[in-house]
Amino acid sequence: MATEDKNRATAAAILPLVGGAANVASIAHCMTRLRLGLHDRSLVDDEALKALPAVMGVVDDDTYQIVLGPGTVARVTPEFEQLVDEAREAAPAPGDTPAVTAVSAEELAAQGAAIKAQRKAKNATPFKLFLRKIANIFVPLIPALIGCGIIAGLNGLLVNLEWLPAVTPALAAMASGFMALIAVFVGYNTAKEFGGTPILGGAVAAIIVFPGVANIDAFGQTLSPGQGGVLGALGAAVLAVYVEKWCRRWVPEALDVLVTPTLTVLISGLVTIFGLMYVAGEVSSAIGTFADWLLSNGGAGAGFVLGGLFLPLVMLGLHQALIPIHTTLIEQQGYTVLLPILAMAGAGQVGAAVAVYFRLPRNESIRRTIKSALPAGLLGVGEPLIYGVSLPLGRPFITACFGGAFGAGFVGLFNQLGDTVGSTAIGPSGWALFPLLDGNHGLGSTIAIYAGGLLVGYVAGFVATYFFGFGKDLLAEFNVSQEPAPSTVAATGNVHPATPPAAPDGPGSDGTDPGASPAKDPARV
């Protein structure tokens, strides 16, 4: 089957299982997930979705998220959007729908709205909602960060080898152009996310990177282009949104098109130049200084703690608070020293999954899940292993965190000894991070330290899980054959291993997101 046909088939299989085109309110995607806003959550068939071969898992959060994996999600989403548009164009006019159907639909919609409200209320704390907004600002920038980061690494390699000197200036321009203007994109996305006019947010943020600010004195010092970076752009755009909303309330409609954008840029711009740029610049400098100090003085211990806590932070959605910090470090230093340390959490997850494979020799269902999900795990895509293996089992999730802690401690130790390991972009981890690595002692040393950290994470996760990941009761419950009874095979003509039962304490008991689906049918991941 051609790739386009395969992606369209996946989209076509998903659409009816989420309630059809009429139930889809919004469509978006991130690195690995198709994110859908749904009118009626009760119309979704979770089990059928998880049974689709292309679906790695589902997460029910503020949006309904279908895990498809990197690359795949970017190709399936346009096909899904096209199918939704085609279905809506072909839908009958409202007058053609029988009255009884309309009443039934309203009842279902009310029921779905109640279910959705219950689920959202459980996790819709102000802090988490704020972090989601921050993530929504920065996540769309990740593809450009990755592409420019890889080009920057390639350019650095060519410069060090003194190859293609006529080409390296062009590569440097490609790698640096986006980072030079990233504040504008952050301002645009911030205004969009906080309910303002995106282009006004971008216009105010553009002040920060305008070369002419070098002629302005504020707080007794001359400003420099880019001072305050993404944090300044974020604050400036948020201010612009509030100024714009204030203007909408007080400016007469006849003058709105002239007065509102003028006042928004003027007021927000003045506050940005004579306040925010200085304050955000000091905060950004403090972040860089603290990160350097932390890893220089307590790298091993800091790495151990950060690597051990990262998987729970991801499950709780709190890792989103680190995105602006990563971006600020990349702006300041050319790379973020935190990401290679946090990436070790995925190594611990891989090691734990391999241990589960050997500890459950009779459970072919889970073993098939592990074999199919390991390649993605090695490339830094952790959802299949998390939702398909460690979370349903419970304790292996904790031992995977220990594996990540030891791997991160290894990388942190070398940072403490003076060998800095960083990443020029955020997003990838695992083996996929190798092209983005950078440091202060040459690429060879940086790659060796990172690879050593992965190896330590694999081994520590394996050992911790193999010896401490299963109690006697849990081992007895899961180390059994998962093949269906002969009567089931005769009736259906197919053999599908059953999904392993949830651990007695259930998903979410370890502090993880209870809205995250533990898994799909492992045999069909």
Which sign, positive or negative, has the C-alpha torsion 290, 291, 295, 301?
positive
Q: How far is the C-alpha of 317 from the C-alpha of 61, rounded, in Å? A: 10
Predicted confidence (pLDDT) per residue in 229-260, tens digit: 999 999 999 999 999 999 999 998 889 999 99
Residue in this structure with the two tokens 């997460």, named with its chain if needed: 59
Our answer to whether residue 401 is catalytic in this structure is no
Say if domain 3-124 classifies as CATH 3.30.1360.60.
yes
Residue 506 Rama label (left phi>0; alpha psi -120 to 50; beta): left
Q: Is 183 a residue whose pLDDT tops 90? A: yes
- pLDDT top residue among 32 and 162: 162
More confident residue, 392 or 361: 361
Q: Residue 265: which of 240, 231, 230 has the closest Cα?
A: 240
CA distance 352 to 271: 51
From start to end of 292-336, where are the E strands? none
Mean pLDDT of the chain: 83
H-type helices in 140-276, by residue range?
A: 142-161, 168-180, 182-193, 198-209, 229-250, 253-271
pLDDT in tens, 123-150: 567 777 788 888 889 988 988 988 998 8
Q: How confident is the model over 158-173, as pLDDT tens digits?
A: 888 889 999 999 999 9
Given 30, 148, 247, 401, which residue is catalytic? 30
Measured CA to CA, the distance from residue 522 to residue 525 in angstroms comes to 5
* CA distance linking residue 186 with residue 281, whole number of Å: 16
Angle at alpha carbon of residue 12, lines to 10 and 15, rounded to 5°: 110
Break the chain into its structural domains and give their ranges: 3-124, 136-293, 334-524
Name the pTM for this structure: 0.72
